[in-house]
């Protein structure tokens, strides 16, 4: 099942790794007020696929943060203390 979503983070947005069960970790993106949970795919090789996806997500999010940060002026974003891990 596929779907497309466009959203903006709210003032209390955050992200974190959680354990749904002891064996089931997930990445949760709290967008304030909407939450998105990304879990292990339920098929062989799912762990490796999620590892690859998380590393790509991290790399690309870093690129976006660097791009936005380099714009300077009134558009410069600073990390909120509530979001820091």
- 15: three-class secondary structure by DSSP: strand
State the maximum Cα–Cα separation within the chain, in Å, rounded to a whole number.
48
Please choose, from the candidates 9, 16, 10, the residue with its C-alpha nearest in 3D space to the C-alpha of residue 84.
Answer: 16
Q: How is residue 25 annotated by DSSP?
A: E
Query: What is the rounded average pLDDT of the residues 20-35?
Result: 94
Q: How confident is the model at residue 76 (pLDDT cuts 50, 70, 90)?
A: very low
| pLDDT value for 9 | 95
Question: Does residue 84 carry a pLDDT above 70?
Answer: no
pLDDT tens per residue, range 3-20: 898 999 999 999 999 999
The span from the CA of 85 to the CA of 79, in Å, is 11
Is pLDDT larger for residue 72 or for residue 53? 53
| pLDDT value for 1 | 67
């Amino acid at each position: 099942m596929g779907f497309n979503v466009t959203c903006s983070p709210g003032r209390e947005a955050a992200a974190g790794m959680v354990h749904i069960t002891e064996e089931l970790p997930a990445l949760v993106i709290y967008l304030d007020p909407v939450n998105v949970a990304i879990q292990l795919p339920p098929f062989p090789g799912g762990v490796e696929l999620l590892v690859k996806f998380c590393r790509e997500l991290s790399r690309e999010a870093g690129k976006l943060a660097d791009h936005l940060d380099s714009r300077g002026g009134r558009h410069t974003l600073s990390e909120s203390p509530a979001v820091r891990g």
